[in-house]
Amino acid sequence: MKVKPAERTESVKEYYFSQKLRQIDLMRKAGANVINLGIGSPDQPPSENTIARLSEEAMKPSSHGYQSYNGIPALRKAFADWYIKYFNVVLDPDSEILPLMGSKEGIMHISMAFVNPGDEVLVPNPGYPTYSSVTNLTGGKVRYYDLTEENGWYPDLQKLEQSDLNRVKIMWINYPHMPTGTKGSVQLFEKLVAFASNHGFLLCNDNPYSFILNNEYLSLLSVDGAKETALELNSLSKSHNMAGWRIGMVAGHSDYIKSILKVKSNMDSGMFRALQAAAVEALGNPPSWYDTVNSVYTKRRIIVEEIMNILDCSFDKNQTGLFVWGKIPDHINNCEQYVDDILNKCHVFITPGFIFGSMGNRYIRISLCADEKTLLEAKRRIMVHEIPPRGGH
């Protein structure tokens, strides 16, 4: 008789992209040349000096032993310097910064450090699915709060104030927002910090998209009093083209960082030192490096917007980040069927918005992480197959 999995595994499903990548792989094995415009995995490389530093450090015998649980001092200082330079936020590298193996790890560590079984967690809808899945795995109770296009994809705090918030432990926010590309604002962050402070819960901003098609760098921690009630996650995955390197950080009050470190130190044995040294190098990239990366995304975005127009989708030209988020035409009844039709007929995969929550049911998301030639080919295929069909579904 096989051992039964823990009940917590029943609270989550296999990640949508995991399933879809398997389907795409099978299609490719059968001979289909599928173009994947679904996932935001940067296809540009990190800076040359970052890669050179990794190679140099990896050659040192001293780089291969266990490392400290809270990262090498040089990396914490580099994160602190990065935050003061671009976000105008002062962080103590010794007590207010904890390097992570990617910010996704941080979502789990924060949840394990603060969420007790039965505690409620406010999760944006639409939003990153990991917020809800991690909440379920830790025994918390997910409470979705709706983000709507009519409200500029901002939380309706007045509506939340009218509900019972006594059991809320964490509120997840994500600005610049994924999947909608909406920027945050000082006014929004001030309201959110006051809201969290008044109700005594932890406000967590997941902030990996600040540098993509955006030069208005903003941190939640820049708001007065934020450190008392807030944490911020950041990552080198998108901003520095280092998604597979798994390097991120969490910043906030030293007491919060200590609690997270209790969890983290029981789950890993430190990050490869050469990776940390290379991350220091990457964080020192000049502003011109970000400009060069974004110049590529700017050209790609023009083509993606043309694809959105061909699909008769409406979208906000002021979006930031690695994607374009668009609303599907009214005559399309089923978004999932719609993107499956595009995949099967055109061999182009586009992300359906429903995977980010019910408020994304009428939207699709197209990634900028493909070169111009590939995007132009995707555009050609969609035009040839007349998607959307004239009669709708």
Q: Which two tokens stand for residue 141?
A: 């109770």
- The residue type at 173: I
**Structure confidence by residue, pLDDT tens digits, 114-169:** 999 999 999 999 999 999 999 999 999 999 999 999 999 999 999 999 999 999 99
What's the rounded mean pLDDT across residues 248-266? Answer: 97
Q: What pTM does this model have?
A: 0.94
Tell which CATH architecture fits domain 48-285.
3-Layer(aba) Sandwich (3.40)
CATH, domain 7-45+288-384, list 3.30.565.10, 3.40.190.80, 3.90.1150.10, 1.10.1740.10: 3.90.1150.10
Report the chain's mean pLDDT, rounded to a whole number: 95
Positive/negative CA dihedral, 123, 125, 131, 132? positive
Q: What pLDDT sits at residue 387?
A: 67
pLDDT-based confidence at 390, cuts 50/70/90? very low
Q: Which range is least confidently modeled, 15-29, 308-322, 340-354?
A: 15-29
Q: What pLDDT sits at residue 95?
A: 98
SS3 48: helix
Q: What pLDDT sits at residue 79?
A: 98
Q: Which two tokens stand for residue 144?
A: 């979705």
Strands 230-235 and 323-327: what pairing? Answer: unpaired
What's the rounded mean pLDDT across residues 8-26? Answer: 83
- Show Cβ contacts of residue 151 under 8 Å, excluding neighbours closer than 6 positions: none
**Structure confidence by residue, pLDDT tens digits, 284-302:** 999 999 999 999 999 999 9
Q: What pLDDT sits at residue 16?
A: 78
Please state whether 333 falls in left (phi above 0), alpha (psi between -120 and 50) or beta. Answer: alpha
Place of tokens 């809270």: 70
Q: What pLDDT sits at residue 392?
A: 45
Domain locations in the chain as residue ranges: 7-45+288-384, 48-285
Evaluate whether 7-45+288-384 and 48-285 have a shared fold.
no
Q: HSE of 389 in the Cβ direction (CA atoms, 13 Å)?
A: 13
